[in-house]
Amino acid sequence: MEDSLLFGVEGIKKTILYGGTNQIPKFMTGSKVTFHFRTMLCNDDRTVIDDSKKVGVPMEVVFGNMFKLDVWEILLKSMRIGEVAEFWCDIIHTGMYPIVAKSLRRIAEGKDPVDWHIHTCGMANMFAYHTLGYEDLDELQKEPQPLIFVLELLKVQQPSEYDRESWALSDEEKLKAVPVLHGQGNKLYKMGRIEEAMNKYKEGLICVRNVQTKEKAWEAPWLKLEKMANTLTLNYCQCLLRLEEYYEVIEHTSDIINQHPGAIKAFYLRGKAHMEVWNETEAKADFERVLDLDPGMKKSIKKELAVLSMRMEEKREEDRLRYKGMFNDTAAGQIAPAQALEEMTTEQETPEQETPEMPEQITLEEAILEQAPPEQEMPEQITPEDAILEQAPPEQEMPEQITPEDAILEQALADQTTTEQVILEPESPEPATPAQTTVEETTEEVMPEPETVCDAEEP
C-alpha cells in the first residue's frame, strides 16, 4: 500500500502492511489496548531497537492515563483488530521513547522499573540519572531522531470488561485507593499474613509514586505525597523485618533517613535490623537517636538496648566456645605430627653422630654370597644320591650285588678247583703256601680232617 499521511496529525506517516478485520474499535478513557510493537531507526539498515515479540510479552496501555508515549494512543486509534501497520514518526513525537524503552527493557529482564512502574509520568525522571543504562538509548536521548514503529493490534477491552490494576487507575482513583490498600495491609499484618500485607503496602506505594512524579519536588503537594509514601515504605519494611530480610530493611530505611533525618520509625526499624545482623555499634546509635528524637520512647528503647546487650553477650560466648574448640582441634591435629616429625628427624641424625660409617644392613643370603670367592659360582645343590654317584671313580661301574646263595656257590666251585689241582700236581719238596683267601673264603674253607684216634693210640 502506498504511504499516506495520518489525517489531522502532523509528523506521522502510516503504511498498512496487513489489513485488520471489522471496523475500527471504540476507544475511550479506560480502554485497555493490547498490541505488539517493533521500533526501528530511520537509517538504511532500519536498525531494530526494541521488539516485543522477541521478549514474548505484548504491550498493554490504558487510554487516558497520560501514558508517557502518548503518540502510541494516536497510532492505535487508527487501527483495526489484527491490523499490522508501519508508522513513521517525526522527532516531535519520539522524544520520550528512551524513557519508555528503559522501563520496558527492565521489565523484560525481570527487574522493576526505577520509578516503580512503566506508567509513571513527568519530565523530572528524564534527568534523574546521567545514563539510562543502555548505550543505544543514551545516544537516542542525546540526539533525538525520527523513529519507525511497526504495530500489531491484538485486543481492545472496555473498562467494564477487565479488572483494573492500580497502575491503570486515574490519578484521582489512585489517591482514593491508597488509604484502602493501607488499611487492607494493616489488617493482613495483624492476621499474620505478612507477605500479603507487604504486597498491599507496595501497591499503595506505587499509586502514590505515580501521582507524585507529576508534582514539583519539595512543594506542598509533593511533600504531602512524600509523607504518605514514607508511611507505606516503613510498613513495608516492617514486613521485611518479619521475613528476616534485614539488609533490605537497612537499605530502605537508610534512604528515608537520608531524605528525612527526623524519621523516628526509620531509625527504630533500622536499629532492630542492625541488631539482628550483630551490628552492635550501629544498632546502639540508631536506638539512641530515637531516644533523642522522642524521649517518650525511653521505656521501649531501654528494653531494646537490654535485649541487644544480652544477645551480644550470647554471641561473644558462642564465638568464644567455637574458637576454643577450633583451636583445640587444630592443636590436637598439629602437635602430634610435629612431634612425630621431630622424632623422625632425631632418628635420622643419631646414627651419623654415634657411628658415622655404619655398614649397610644385609640379609643372611647376601652375607653367604659375600663370603664366596669373587667371580665364583655357587655350587649346585645336589641330592644325597648325586653325592654317592660323584664319589665313585670315573668310568668305573658299580660292582654287582651278589646274594649269599651266589657267594656259597662260587666258594664251592673254588674249593673243587683247588682239590683238583692238588690231585693232579705232584707234591713239591716244600709245602705249598696256602692261597690267600678273602674273609668270606676263610669262613667257608673246608678244614683238614683230624687225625683218627686209632693213629694216636699207636705206640
Q: What percent of the chain has pLDDT over 70?
A: 63
Average pLDDT (130-151) is 90
- Look at the domain 171-302 and name its fold: 1.25.40
Position 392, amino acid: A
pLDDT at 106: 81
pLDDT of residue 327: 62
Grade residue 240 by pLDDT with cuts at 50, 70 and 90. Answer: very high
Higher pLDDT among residues 403 and 254, named by residue: 254
Identity of the residue numbered 27: F
> What mean pLDDT do residues 259-263 have?
93
Identify which has the larger pLDDT, 282 or 456: 282
Residue with cell 498493554: 60
Task: Give the integer Cα–Cα distance in Å for 269 and 259.
Answer: 16
pLDDT score recorded for residue 58: 92
Distance CA(54)–CA(112), nearest Å, equals 19
Question: Do 286 and 274 touch, CB atoms closer than 8 A?
Answer: yes
Residue 413: exposure state from Cβ atoms within 10 A (0-12, 13-18, ≥19): exposed
| DSSP H or E run through 307 | helix 298-354
For residue 341, what is the enclosing H or E element? Answer: helix 298-354
Q: How far apart are CA 292 and CA 265, in angstroms?
A: 13
Q: What is the 3-state secondary structure (H, E, C) of 166-210?
A: HHHCCHHHHHHHHHHHHHHHHHHHHCCCHHHHHHHHHHHHHHHHH
Q: Quick check: 67 pLDDT over 80?
A: no
In this model, does residue 405 exceed pLDDT 80? no
Task: Give 311-337 pLDDT, tens digit per residue.
Answer: 899 888 888 888 876 766 555 555 555
CB atoms under 10 Å from CB of 201, counted, come to 25
**What local confidence, expressed as pLDDT, does residue 144 receive?**
92
- Residue 432 has a pLDDT of 44
Cell of 270: 533500622
Grid coordinates representing 88 are: 513513521
75, 78, 83, 86 alpha-carbon torsion, rounded to 10°: -40
DSSP state of 429: S
- Amino acid sitting at position 73: E
For CATH 1.25.40.10, the residue range(s) in the chain are 171-302
SS (H, E, C) 343-368: HHHHHHHHHHHHCCCCCCCCCHHHHH
The residue-averaged pLDDT of 435-442 equals 40
Question: HSE of 326 in the Cβ direction (CA atoms, 13 Å)?
Answer: 6
Cβ-contact 35, 58 below 8 angstroms: yes
Task: Name residue 39's beta-bridge partners.
Answer: 50, 149
pLDDT of residue 347: 52
pLDDT at 394 exceeding the cut of 60: no
The string of pLDDT tens digits covering residues 190-209 is: 999 999 999 999 999 999 99
Residues forming CATH 3.10.50.40 domain(s) in the chain: 4-163
Kindly indicate the confidence band of residue 112, based on its pLDDT and cuts at 50, 70 and 90. low
| Angstrom distance (rounded) from CA 142 to CA 223 | 31
175 Cβ neighbours under 8 A, 6+ residues apart:
207, 211
User: Residue 116 pLDDT more than 60?
Assistant: no
Grid cell, residue 9, equals: 496529525
- Residue 210: predicted pLDDT: 87
Q: Residues of the chain with pLDDT > 90: what percent?
A: 47
Classify residue 210 as exposed, middle or buried by CB count within 10 Å of its CB (0-12, 13-18, 19+).
Answer: buried
CB atoms within 10 A of CB 58: 15
pLDDT for the residue 221: 93
Residue 385 has pLDDT above 80, yes or no: no
- Banded model confidence at residue 272, pLDDT cuts 50, 70, 90: very high
- Phi first, then psi: what are they for 56, rounded to 5°? 95, 5
Nearest to 214 by CA among 115, 122, 126: 122
Average pLDDT, the chain: 76
Query: In this predicted model, what pLDDT tens digit does every residue of 417-428 receive, in sequence order?
Result: 444 443 334 444
The answer to whether 132 and 138 are in contact (CB under 8 A) is yes
DSSP H/E element including 148: strand 147-157
Q: For residues 349 and 336, what is the distance between their CA atoms, to the nearest angstrom?
A: 20
CA distances from residue 228 to 179, 205, 218 in whole angstroms, order as listed: 9, 8, 14
Q: Decide: pTM greater than 0.85.
A: no
Give residue 339's pLDDT.
58
Nearest CA-CA partner of 182 in 234, 224, 240, 112: 234
**Of the ranges 53-57, 68-72, 386-390, the best mean pLDDT one:** 53-57
Average pLDDT over residues 46-50: 95
113 versus 168: which is more confidently predicted? 168
Residue count of the chain: 459
Q: Averaged over 74-85, what is the pLDDT?
A: 95
How many Cβ atoms are within 10 Å of 392's Cβ, its own excluded? 10
CA–CA separation, 197 and 220 (whole Å): 29
Residue 266 CA to residue 258 CA, distance in Å, equals 10
Q: What is the mean pLDDT of residues 147-174?
A: 87
* CATH among 2.40.50.140, 3.30.70.1400, 3.40.50.1240, 3.10.50.40 for 4-163: 3.10.50.40
